[in-house]
């Protein structure tokens, strides 16, 4: 089997409300779709959402790099994912987001060829209940409390709260959220590197009474050598996110004993191929994981859901982004219940695609 043609599309989608974290503000999901066609008629779909503030890519730059990757993957064997991954890394360093879109499309083809759902191709099974949290963006405390109330009223069973301000701001935010929703619903927090290392422990200790499940990336990613001390002394479990992109990062953090948990995202790891290496390392160290994402549509999050079924150590799921988009162009793929439970597609391969009519309206490049 050979890759006959690759198409790369820019797919910007307006958000229902601005998505705001300590690093950046977003009004659009600036996504890129990759379609890989083989000489045997199999077609694979992939998608990414480049984040300038996290992986240094934007929709336009990912689109341009996608051209380079496509030119080097034409006529290659799509079933040899290891070689295709090496080729992409040889073509250009980094650019993990756009590489993940190619990777997902390759796994779609490989699992279709094997006549298996992707989760089964990854040696997983569909016996796990996947329930997503829903995220409260950074704002003033009253708005965040109001947003949290709406999330509870909508039926979601867990709330993720974006933080990363000063101690007084973030304590007020969590205090008002707890006053609004009570203490029964689980809360998770994500500072997105927003706290200085010398203040992070003080803030984490102050937030401890509010019954927080875990905290993602409390300090700047480059300051990871200070994470072991924070992990040791924090009353709230620490989850590595931006400091853990690929398996090399995971190995470093595990050896440093720097985190309780790891957040795996396909857009950080360059896709499933390297994400599986992170998972293998985490399992060996008995570290629990979350699978999350950026602002991708249900297309990429369907791939993330398949990945989440591949390991019992993956216990948290941050799959709310597609619900934040004003439009849904995905055919099949994961579905959401009223309580945030994920229903997997009952198809071979990825089980998600994008209609030709939607693709026709997008800026594209075709190679091959």
Catalytic residues: 162, 190, 216, 241, 265
3 state DSSP class of 26: strand
237 close to 261: Cβ distance less than 8 angstroms = yes
Task: Report helix, strand and coil shares of the chain as percent, to nearest 5.
Answer: 40, 25, 35
CB atoms near residue 53 (< 10 Å)? 14
Edge-to-edge strand ranges of the sheet holding 261-265:
134-136, 159-162, 187-190, 212-216, 237-240, 261-265, 288-292, 314-317
- State how beta strands 159-162 and 187-190 pair: parallel
HSE-up of 261 (CA within 13 Å, CB side)?
Answer: 23
H helix intervals, the chain: 52-55, 59-73, 81-91, 96-113, 118-121, 141-153, 167-181, 197-207, 227-233, 247-256, 266-269, 272-284, 298-308, 356-360
The span from the CA of 333 to the CA of 354, in Å, is 10
Considering only CA atoms, give the Rg of the chain.
Answer: 20
Phi-psi region of 332 (alpha: psi -120 to 50; beta: other; left: phi over 0): left
The span from the CA of 85 to the CA of 80, in Å, is 9
15 close to 326: Cβ distance less than 8 angstroms = yes
The span from the CA of 366 to the CA of 280, in Å, is 35
CA 268 to chain centroid: 8
């Amino acid at each position: 089997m050979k890759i006959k043609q690759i198409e790369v599309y820019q797919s910007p989608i307006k958000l229902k409300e601005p998505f705001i974290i300590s690093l950046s503000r977003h009004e659009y999901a600036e996504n890129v779709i990759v379609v890989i066609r083989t000489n045997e008629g199999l077609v694979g779909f992939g998608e990414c959402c480049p984040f300038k503030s996290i992986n240094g890519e934007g929709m336009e730059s990912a689109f341009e790099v996608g051209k380079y990757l496509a030119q080097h993957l034409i006529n290659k064997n799509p079933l040899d994912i290891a070689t295709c991954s090496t080729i992409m890394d040889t073509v250009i360093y980094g650019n993990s987001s756009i590489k993940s879109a190619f990777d997902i499309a390759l796994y779609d083809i490989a699992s279709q060829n094997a006549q298996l759902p992707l989760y089964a191709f990854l040696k997983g099974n569909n016996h796990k209940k996947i329930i997503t949290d829903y995220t409260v963006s950074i704002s003033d405390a009253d708005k965040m409390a109001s947003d949290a109330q709406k999330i509870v009223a909508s039926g979601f069973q867990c709330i993720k709260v974006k933080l990363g301000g000063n101690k007084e701001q973030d304590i007020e935010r969590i205090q008002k959220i707890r006053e609004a929703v009570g203490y029964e619903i689980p809360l998770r927090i994500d500072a997105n590197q927003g706290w200085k290392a010398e203040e992070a422990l003080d803030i984490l200790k102050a937030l401890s009474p509010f019954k927080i499940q875990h905290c993602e990336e409390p300090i700047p990613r480059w300051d990871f050598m200070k994470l072991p001390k924070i992990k040791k002394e924090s009353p709230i479990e620490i989850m590595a996110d931006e400091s853990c992109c690929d398996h090399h990062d995971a190995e470093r953090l595990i050896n440093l004993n720097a985190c309780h948990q790891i957040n795996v995202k396909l857009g950080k790891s360059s896709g499933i191929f390297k994400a599986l290496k992170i998972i293998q390392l985490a399992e060996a160290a008995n570290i629990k994981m979350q699978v999350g994402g950026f602002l991708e549509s249900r297309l990429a999050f369907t791939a993330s859901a398949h990945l989440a079924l591949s390991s019992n150590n993956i216990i948290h799921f941050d799959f709310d982004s597609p619900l934040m988009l004003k439009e849904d162009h995905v055919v099949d793929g994961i579905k959401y219940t009223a309580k945030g439970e994920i229903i997997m597609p009952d198809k071979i391969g990825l089980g998600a695609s994008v209609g030709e009519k939607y693709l026709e309206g997008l800026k594209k490049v075709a190679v091959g």
